[in-house]
Structure 1
């Protein structure tokens, strides 16, 4: 068994199980970019593209179903390591009941820099008497010795960057997982969906630079094109 897979198993067993309705770090959600917001910040900010599947995954990890509720990220360097400190970039599910199990395009205008995963919440449902509970990953699990271990992504000013597709992994206990489209043809198909969802964005030169993690996904890079500059 690989070291990365061992780390994933250990991490899934140490998630905090509790029953709050939201993470302390995720009280405010970040809005997807609008045409007006893009016009105001396009020179200073970068655009982050990511797909998220908010739907229930049936039979996940031996449970009736599981569902992502919240993702939160810190802009580095970190201002506070407290679990209840606000995060810079927070995404909440649009609904805990009425969401389809499909990947949905998301685009955000963010200040340039490096961002680290600081928290996520997964809702897990089982038949009574267990019922519904929440598994939270917080800064106390996602940072070690002051360094982020959950994963990071970078966005530069004036660029658009694709960081991956986020859903669940159900091999063991339900946990977050970052997927990705393989090959340029699949990536271009995905970009056509983004252009339809956000027609006001300039997406002619989108960078394929995945959220980098050893806990919640595997490394992958697109093959170079013949005209790419080394």
Structure 2
């Protein structure tokens, strides 16, 4: 990947007990997990055969999906017009467990006047969780799961990118710890969102930064 934006700013998130919240010294709980994820909400011009495309929403749901208390993490662009074409960093305190991608929204402009939305359907993706993709967080873990954006090689397509190489990952985590010094002693795991459809497999030989 290219130059990374290292936790210069985070969008505030608040919620009820059990819901994901933005990481802060106040919200951090060592019995829970911390999710590190980056998303590019910007428009990609000349995306495949289309004028432009833009990822506008992502939803991850804790398994089992039919569970009465399953946690839902919803990410949405802060602006459909002014979003910069760069990966923005997020860090959330979440309930431990396995989470599946259950929804997404990609706006695709065929022309200046015609815009369609490519969306994931929770019902369809629930039938093939490994194809849609999952990530897992254990109690006390801080986990990096990837960078999410669009692949425009052929047509607009949701894609999970990633940091390549141990040294790049160490530099990335140094930026994270500068932003959140109260967790600098907690190891960070490189555990990518695993999917058969929205990204290629990749792993670090030594995935933990102490």
Report the TM-score, using the length of structure 2 for normalisation.
0.81
Structure 1 Cα separation of the partners of residues 148 and 161 of structure 2 = 6
Instruction: Look up the match of 2:57.
Output: 70
Q: Does 1:57 align with 2:47?
A: no
Instruction: Look up the match of 1:169.
Output: 151
Question: Equivalences for 1:142-157 in 2 at 5 Å?
Answer: 142-144=125-127, 147-157=129-139
Moved segments of 4+, more than 3 Å: 196-204
Rg comparison, structure with higher value: 1
Q: Does 1:138 align with 2:102?
A: no
Structure 1 Cα separation of the partners of residues 196 and 21 of structure 2 = 28
Question: Structure 1: where are the runs of 5+ without partners?
Answer: 1-28, 81-85
Cα gap change, 1:203 to 1:173, in 2 (>3 Å): farther
Q: Report which of the two has the higher share of strand.
A: 2
Instruction: Look up the match of 1:36.
Output: 26
Offset from partner CA, 1:31-78 (integer Å, 9 cap, x none): 42232111xxx1221001011111111111211111111100110111
| Contact 2:108–2:116 (CA under 8 A) maintained in structure 1 | yes
| Contact 1:119–1:136 (CA under 8 A) maintained in structure 2 | yes
Cα gap change, 1:127 to 1:121, in 2 (>3 Å): same
- Further displaced range: 193-202 or 51-60: 193-202
What SS is found at the alignment partner of 2:48?
Answer: helix
Instruction: Look up the match of 1:210.
Output: 192
Q: Does 1:187 align with 2:175?
A: no
CA positional deviation for 1:220: 0.7
Offset from partner CA, 1:172-204 (integer Å, 9 cap, x none): 331110011111111112112322343443365
Cα gap change, 1:224 to 1:150, in 2 (>3 Å): same
Instruction: Look up the match of 1:93.
Output: 77
Question: Structure 2: where are the runs of 5+ without partners?
Answer: 1-18
Cα gap change, 1:200 to 1:95, in 2 (>3 Å): farther
Structure 2 Cα separation of the partners of residues 200 and 134 of structure 1 = 41
Structure 1 Cα separation of the partners of residues 179 and 107 of structure 2 = 28
Q: Report which of the two has the higher share of helix.
A: 1
RMSD: 2.3
Report the TM-score, using the length of structure 1 for normalisation.
0.74
Aligned residue pairs, count: 188
Structure 2 Cα separation of the partners of residues 206 and 144 of structure 1 = 31
Structure 2 Cα separation of the partners of residues 203 and 172 of structure 1 = 43
